Amino acid sequence: MAGGSGGRTVTSRVLGLIGAFDATHRRLTLSELASRADVSLPTAHRLVAELVEWGALVRNEDGTYAVGRRLWDAGLLAPVATDLRSVAAPFLHDLYGATLETVHLAVREDDHVLYLETLRGTRNVPIVSSVGSRLPMYSTGVGKVLLAHAPEDVRTRVLSGPLRPFTRHTITTPGLLRRQLDRVITEGYATTAEEMTLGACSVAVPITTSSGVVGSLGIVVSDLRRNRLRLVSALRVAAQGVSRGLA
């Protein structure tokens, strides 16, 4: 409930306002921000005005607020973003050039998959992800790779949490998902079939270094039945190149 900010520091309130945004809440009114951050409306009004002035948030024409470019620019300075994106860039372009399909580079961020880079394909395949977006791991190809290789406490938390169905094909049965994740470890790649968006299938592989799995490469297509193995092979070659570059 808004107004429960007594005793909290200014920093915690600001972080609460920024953290109010997620993949399904990209635009929020001032009242929604106050409620989701659990701060009073006057406090939200004052802090949001300062965040807009600094560039952390932007105010849209309809009065809602969204994450500003300055936050994204700051996020790109994180080593996981700068190193992985720069090393992976030529391999992503090679994958795109060879397939003309949408190519993703992603990492795990807490219980979600964070998209660091996206090259849009030329074919008419519906895509919901974008650079900087965060989506559930259990319903995306790159996410399933990262979830399969995540620590057991992360896997347990995700599988025991609410598994929202995005389409009629989304796998929301914990036991079935766990078996699928075990198969990802055995086979070395993950697939999805219209689990995030109708008309979109995906295949993804891990990017592995001596520290373990640091990211995932994926391709989104309309159908995997005919070219799955060819795409897996191309992804593995690219992932090995990125791994060597990081090493």
In 3D space, the residue among 84, 87, 100, 75 whose CA is nearest the CA of residue 231 turns out to be: 100
The 10s digit of each residue's pLDDT in 105-132 is 999 988 899 999 999 887 778 788 878 8
Amino acid type, 60: N
pTM of the model: 0.70
The 10s digit of each residue's pLDDT in 164-208 is 999 999 999 999 999 999 999 999 999 999 999 999 999 999 999
Count of positions (residues) in the chain:
247
The 10s digit of each residue's pLDDT in 17-31 is 998 988 678 899 999
- Domains in the chain: boundaries: 10-68, 76-246
Does CATH number 3.40.50.10900 belong to domain 10-68? no
Same fold: 10-68 with 76-246: no
Q: State the Rg of the chain over Cα.
A: 19
Identify the helix (H) or strand (E) that includes residue 216: strand 212-221
CATH class of the region 76-246: alpha beta
